[in-house]
Amino acid sequence: MKIYDRLFINGQWVTPSGADTIDVVDPFKEELCGRVPAGTRQDVDTAVQAARNGFAVWSRVAHRERAAVIEEIARKLEARSDEIAQTVSTELGMPISFSKAIQAGLPATVMASYATLAAEAPAEEQIGHSRVLREPVGVCAFITPWNFPLHQIVGKVAPALAAGCTMIVKPSSQTPLNAFILAEIMAEVRLPPGVFNLVPGSGREVGEALARHPEVDLISFTGSTRAGRRIAELAAQSIKRVTLELGGKSANVILDDADLKRAISQGVRDICLNSGQVCSALSRMLVPAHRQAEAVAIAKQTAEKIAIGRPDDPNTYMGPLVSEAQRRKVRGYINKGIEEGATLVYGGPEVPAGLPRGYFVAPTLFSDVSSRMAIAQEEIFGPVLCIIPYEDEDEAVRIANDTVYGLSGAVWSSNPERAERVARRMRTGQVMINGGKFNPLAPFGGYKQSGRGRELGKYGLEEYLEIKSLQL
């Protein structure tokens, strides 16, 4: 069990001002696997002041020196990748094979990408007699989620470091242990005091204090749309910059000329990745009405082959949900889908056979889903797939766009030009065409109530830069 009893503030491990702690529960064993201190508003004030002082130094460090530090952080993340993978697998429940590639591998890759971007000064632009500059925003606060914990932290920390900003990180209370590994790395590299600060705690105590704080210039939040709305309300009091990466209800549009078996099989596996606890999960599968029976049969065959079980088994594809509360939520939606009249094809709210321990939910498939049903409109955040029939391409696009969200999506067609034409009509931040892979250098973010702003690559860096005009 990992026990941490100090916060990381101003380049040092310090005693928190309060005595409260946060218990971390292993969702497979349903027992304690760690404990961290719970920060207070006083700790937030201390960390923000440290970040303000650190900004005066870090913002003036040469770009190539910043790049060297970021590169060193990336190397240290890579060196501790096995430890990171095991830690996240234990506190989250993601199978170890995926945790190695995603929870440990991706943060190191993203951090290294910003070493490259940081090496060059932001471009200056001459517009008539004006010179346009890009400068760091200032002190940033990061409130991050539990589903891809270290990746989401690094996706904010890396571009902020590259831009010359300083920061306070509040990790999720459900999966905070990995953030302490990052803090240990930050203590080892050549960062000035106050550049990186770690203050775990509740959203009500630490999160709201950060959102309100007048000395915080930018707040970046990843989580639910409900919580993002609250963050934006509080941040508006001091007119600070806000970036939000929120919920999703992404559509997987399978056109009538697609390779049905490939598209549907991959779609089912997608909804089971990380037990469906993915904001960009393709949770709505849109299929031609005249091929729905065929699509349902393929989906069921695929779901039956999903290996559910111990996260430490390399053959496991899907582990438990993160908590009992999350399992209750997902089961509630499954029951609602049944009540709404959708056809339960596979899975359901019952405990999967042979898994009496752990917060498990079986892969669950619904067919004959109407786009007006709650299971088709609301983010479930579990391994629940809605198969929705459509009559023609125009109706497919209409259904795909018919939610308050717009984070991700997919299109499948044997005609790449047709697939791209449909993708361009989808009101969403990213679209995968015929199984296109995730690109850590491409912008990630959403339309509508899926958020504002972008993360990753050069677009993520721009979120941390202010624009100044010199009139010459």
Residues belonging to the active site: 245, 279
> Cβ neighbours of residue 32 under 8 Å, at least 6 residues apart?
1, 23, 24, 25, 26
Residue with tokens 């440990």: 104
Tell me which residue of 110, 112, 151 sits closest to 442, measured CA to CA.
110
What are 465's strand-pairing partners? 136
> Cβ neighbours of residue 365 under 8 Å, at least 6 residues apart?
268, 296, 299, 300, 303, 344, 345, 346, 347, 385, 387
Distance of CA 316 to the CA centre of its chain: 22
One-letter identity of residue 45: D
Phi, psi dihedrals of residue 369, rounded to the nearest 5°? -90, 130
Cβ pair 425, 438 in contact under 8 A: no
What are 286's strand-pairing partners? 253, 388
With 0-12 CB in 10 A as exposed, 13-18 as middle and 19+ as buried, what is 206?
A: buried
